[in-house]
Amino acid sequence: MSTTHFFDSPQGRRIAYHKTEGTGPTVVFLGGLKSDMEGTKAVHLEAWAKARGQSFLRFDYSGHGESSGTFEEGCIGDWHEDTLATLDALIEGPLVIVGSSMGGWQALLLAKACPDRIHGMVTIAAAPDFTEDSYWAGFSDAQKAELERVGHVELPSDYMDPYIVTKRMIEDGRSRLVLRSELDLPFPTRFLQGTEDEAVRADVAYRLLDHAEGADIQLLMVKGKDHRFSDEACLKLIEAKVEEVLAAPTQG
């Protein structure tokens, strides 16, 4: 098992990561909300990368996994800063971004921040703008009042302890929305989505496909798969789509 390494970001956060040396472009895995770099998809892709001699990076956002901070202190913007800092500090050259759930939103934020570095992108149940379109839109008047009064609300989760949704997360999310303005993806892009996903429903994937602009964007709906998207068939599909965008010519 490889050793966890750390670096200190410009914002003073201690970020944990595992980096595999190899040929580029570097494949970077961006995990989901309250997930970490030890998740099934991240570890599987690392093994796939090592087997083919591909450069690969997985890391923990602040407040996740082995990185510093607590989840409740964080927000989309903090994790975007973590992602940018990690890529700037650890990787030279082009990137293939693989974003899962909230990591899909982070991937799209990267497309806005540094499109010239991205060779290709694969998202898995991407969840852009969920703080506004899922959390805030789904809050009752009582929950909105509690958010204002207490500063947070608790939401149940099928996967772990309740999510603590803070007022800061909601307000910061509004400054990071990607489905309300132009979204250019000028590189090969593959959106993967399970039809049985209850956390990020299919209409989000269709909305993203309709909204994004680019010459090579595809959405693949996989019948019967849920939000985890991590059984053997799904993992092989992720591999195949990463290989597909890696093999694509650089966009001119």
pLDDT at 252 over 60: no
- Other CB atoms within 10 Å distance of the CB of residue 52: 13
pLDDT tens, position by position, 81-109: 999 999 999 999 999 999 999 999 999 99
Strand order in the sheet with 189-194: 5-8, 14-20, 54-59, 23-30, 95-100, 118-124, 189-194, 217-222
Pairing of strands 95-100, 54-59: unpaired
pLDDT given at position 200 = 92
CB-CB contact of 142 with 49 (8 Å): no
Tokens representing 237? 């599909």
- Given this model, what pLDDT does residue 82 score? 98
Per-residue pLDDT of 25-77, as tens digits, reads 999 999 999 899 999 999 999 999 999 999 999 999 999 999 999 999 999 99
What is the tens place of the pLDDT at every residue in 216-240?
999 999 999 999 999 999 999 999 9
How many whole angstroms separate alpha carbon 12 and alpha carbon 192?
A: 34
Whole-number pLDDT of residue 249: 81
| Pairwise CA distance, residues 163 & 222, whole Å | 27
pLDDT (0 to 100) of residue 68:
96
Residue 30 is predicted with a pLDDT of 98
Q: What is the mean pLDDT of residues 169-187?
A: 97
Where in the chain are the domains? 5-129+179-247
pLDDT > 70 fraction of the chain, expressed in percent and rounded = 98
Q: Which CATH number fits domain 5-129+179-247: 3.20.20.330, 3.50.50.60, 3.40.50.1820, 3.30.1330.60?
A: 3.40.50.1820
- Report the pLDDT value the prediction gives residue 65, as an integer from 0 to 100: 94
| Chain mean pLDDT for the chain | 94
Is 250 a residue whose pLDDT tops 80?
A: no
User: Which positions ≥6 away from 70 have C-beta within 8 Å?
Assistant: 63
pTM: 0.95
